[in-house]
Amino acid sequence: QVQLQESGPGLVKPSQTLSLTCTVSGDSISSGSYYWTWIRQPAGEGLEWIGRIYTSGSTIYNPSLKSRVTISLDTSNNVFSLKLTSVTAADTAVYYCARAGLTNFDSWGQGTLVTVSS
């Protein structure tokens, strides 16, 4: 059974870069069967899809975040990562990594809270 676990700093200063890693176990991110995605949820608000990466390294991002987001793969360590630049308080949220088929997100990490504050 696949498991995903987010990790990274819980506090980031405004204007700096948010960096998170998702460690995958029970599946290979290079298998070619799934997309690897990031989703976030501000406190008390809904889910927002951030972007996805495929085994080939091809990426697609939410248009509203595209200019600030980079998702990458490290197949040797079976992890994928998120970088979000020029963060503001509006980027404070619980960040989830998830495995996705074309049509759904079938496995999720537990989520990690990232707070943007000086």
The residues of the shown chain that bind other proteins, judged by CB under 8 A, are 37, 39, 45-49, 52, 60-64, 96, 100-106, 108-111
Nearer to other proteins, 1 or 118 (CB): 1
Cβ of residue 103: shortest distance to other proteins, in angstroms?
A: 4
35 forms bridges with which residues in the sheet?
A: 100
Which residue, 5 or 72, is less far from other proteins as judged by CB? 5
96 near 108, Cβ under 8 Å?
yes
Q: Are 92 and 115 in contact (CB under 8 A)?
A: yes
Indicate the residue among 24 and 39 with the shorter CB distance to other proteins: 39
**Residues 20, 114: Cα–Cα separation, whole Å:** 9
